[in-house]
Amino acid sequence: MVKQDHYPLPLPDELIEWLRGAKIFSKLDLKWGYNLVRIREGDEWKTSFKCKFGQFKYLIMPFGLTNAPAAFQCFMNEILQDLLGICVVVYLDDILIFSKTQEEHEEQVREVLRRHIKNNLYCNTEKCTFHVEQIDYLGLIVSGDKVETDPEKVSKAVDWPIPKTVKQVQEFLGFVNFYQRFVPNYSKKARPLFELLLKDKKWEWGMTQQGAFEGLKQSLMEAPTLIQPKPNEKFYLECNASDFATGAILSQKDMEGKLHPVAFYSKSFLPAEQNYDIFNKEMLALICALKEWRHLLEGTETPVEVLTDHCNLEHFTVKKVLNRWQIRWANFLVDYNIQIKYCPGTQNKKADILSRRADFELPKGGGEPSSILDPGFFIAEISTDSSLDDMI
């Protein structure tokens, strides 16, 4: 029985954000990885195994141990502790050094290498890269001001064979899902493939599924570039809610003054949240988006411009009667400098699409939203009369 080591691995998105503003990069890849760490004396027996040649035990940490990633990340963080987030980011054995000037970079690379020598760590020179303006890291091409897909990784999706089973569809979507923030209208394009994953869904691969499969691969080839967030500049937040999910896009203006995406976000509602009315769903969409990007949006000097297709949301801050969860939301919003602006749905399609992802749909059979009151309490059912639209 192994006691789980809960030392956290860093979040890739957080590491990428730390690189903003950098001008030059170097990447180090450690040789032998986990095998560089010695198992504590007296604990070697815990790794013992038996084969036809006898019984053996490891003296160094092998690949495959349940606690190996956590132990190795802790080991690397201790070595480079005072440099993390300043000029170095580390994800297991991938070490990235970033700087704003050539002079700084040369000294910082030397310092990292000195610590490697001191701790008997060795680099695989074939996988190391030095003094470049952009670099591939954690499956992305990154620089100080933008993030792009890695062409080498995208080529694997382009050459992906046609799936023959549900499991193969899951594998393809799992790969593409990593890059979904780069794919416009991702949910619409992937919908026919997500439908194949539904429980008790009969396998059917026709023209619709083939078109979605090829469309996603084409979208990856044409993926847009995301810009790195600039904390001191104005943010624009587009959010929207559907019956079953919320979607949001965080943007800033690029060098040409055009709005450019920083990040995308979507989340399915909990069963209780699915019963909210449209106003509360739209408000919840805003709250979820602010929580997702709290590290960027909390306490900004320049107001965050929130674009919503629900006009009543503009008046939330002056609403006099609030229910319990609205009071909690109001208290939460105190920490944010936001300016809510109404944007008709026809102009807010990007966030609307995210909130309607196919994989967020309500499950069939017992998953529909229901009223907590007995139907007998209602005097009459209210229906929409389209003839009243011109009068409103």
Question: Which of 358, 348, 364 has its CA nearest to residue 305?
Answer: 348
Are 120 and 214 members of one domain?
no
152's CB contacts (< 8 A; 6+ apart) are 136
Whether 379 is covered by a domain: the verdict is no
Domain end among 184, 199, 221: 221
Are 190 and 73 members of one domain?
no
> How many domains does the chain contain in total?
3
Output the pLDDT for position 381: 41
Q: What does the alpha-carbon distance between residue 282 and residue 201 come to, in Å, rounded to a whole number?
A: 32
Whether 209 is covered by a domain: the verdict is yes
Residue 152 has pLDDT above 70, yes or no: yes
Whether 1 is covered by a domain: the verdict is no
Mean pLDDT rounded to a whole number for the chain: 81
Over residues 335-364, mean pLDDT: 61
Whether 55 is covered by a domain: the verdict is yes
Whether 202 is covered by a domain: the verdict is yes
Q: Look up tokens 């000294």; give the residue.
A: 107
Are 182 and 285 members of one domain?
no
Output the pLDDT for position 264: 79
Question: What is the per-residue pLDDT across 163-185, written as a single tens digit (0 to 9) for each?
Answer: 999 999 999 998 888 887 777 66
Residue 207 burial (CB count, 10 A)? 8
AA identity, residue 221: M
Token couple for 113: 């290498």
Over residues 31-55, mean pLDDT: 84
List strand residue ranges (DSSP E) for 32-82, in order. Answer: 49-51, 54-56
Question: Which of 175, 155, 154 has its CA nearest to residue 163?
Answer: 175
Are 184 and 118 members of one domain?
no
Higher pLDDT, 216 or 342: 216
Over residues 268-278, mean pLDDT: 82
Output the pLDDT for position 379: 42
Residue 26 has pLDDT above 90, yes or no: yes
AA identity, residue 11: L
Whether 352 is covered by a domain: the verdict is yes
Are 206 and 275 members of one domain?
no
Question: What is the per-residue pLDDT across 97-142, written as a single tens digit (0 to 9) for each?
Answer: 999 999 999 999 999 999 999 998 888 888 899 999 999 998 899 9
Question: Which of 350, 362, 361, 359 has its CA nearest to residue 240?
Answer: 350
Q: What does the alpha-carbon distance between residue 290 and residue 354 come to, in Å, rounded to a whole number?
A: 16
Domain end among 144, 172, 201: 144
Which of 180-194, 291-305, 309-323 is most confident?
291-305
Output the pLDDT for position 42: 83
pLDDT band at 316 (very low <50, low <70, confident <90, very high): low
Are 216 and 233 members of one domain?
no
Backbone phi, then psi, for 356, in 5-degree steps? -115, 30
DSSP SS3 for 349? helix
Which CATH number do you get for residue 173?
3.30.70.270
Are 294 and 272 members of one domain?
yes
Expressed as residue numbers, the domain containing 306 is 229-360
pTM score of the predicted model: 0.70
Query: Percent of the chain, pLDDT > 70?
Result: 83
Are 208 and 251 members of one domain?
no
List strand residue ranges (DSSP E) for 269-386, in order. Answer: 304-308, 338-342
Question: What is the per-residue pLDDT across 239-259, written as a single tens digit (0 to 9) for each?
Answer: 888 777 777 889 998 777 888
- Number of Cα atoms under 13 Å in the Cβ half of residue 285: 37
Whether 6 is covered by a domain: the verdict is no
Q: What does the alpha-carbon distance between residue 97 and residue 84 come to, in Å, rounded to a whole number?
A: 9
Are 316 and 213 members of one domain?
no
368's CB contacts (< 8 A; 6+ apart) are 362
Token couple for 109: 């690379």
258's CB contacts (< 8 A; 6+ apart) are none
Output the pLDDT for position 245: 76
Residue 356 has pLDDT above 60, yes or no: no
Chain center to CA of 178:
8
pLDDT band at 319 (very low <50, low <70, confident <90, very high): low
Whether 251 is covered by a domain: the verdict is yes
Q: What does the alpha-carbon distance between residue 170 and residue 146 come to, in Å, rounded to a whole number?
A: 29
Output the pLDDT for position 188: 67
Secondary structure in 3-state letters for 171-210 = HHHHHHHCCHHHCCCHHHHHHHHHHCCCCCCCCCCCHHHH
Which CATH number do you get for residue 352?
3.30.420.10
DSSP SS3 for 95? strand
Which of 237-241, 310-314, 387-391 is most confident?
237-241
Are 91 and 174 members of one domain?
no
Are 181 and 131 members of one domain?
no
Are 245 and 326 members of one domain?
yes
Q: What does the alpha-carbon distance between residue 104 and residue 131 come to, in Å, rounded to a whole number?
A: 11
Domain end among 170, 193, 221: 221
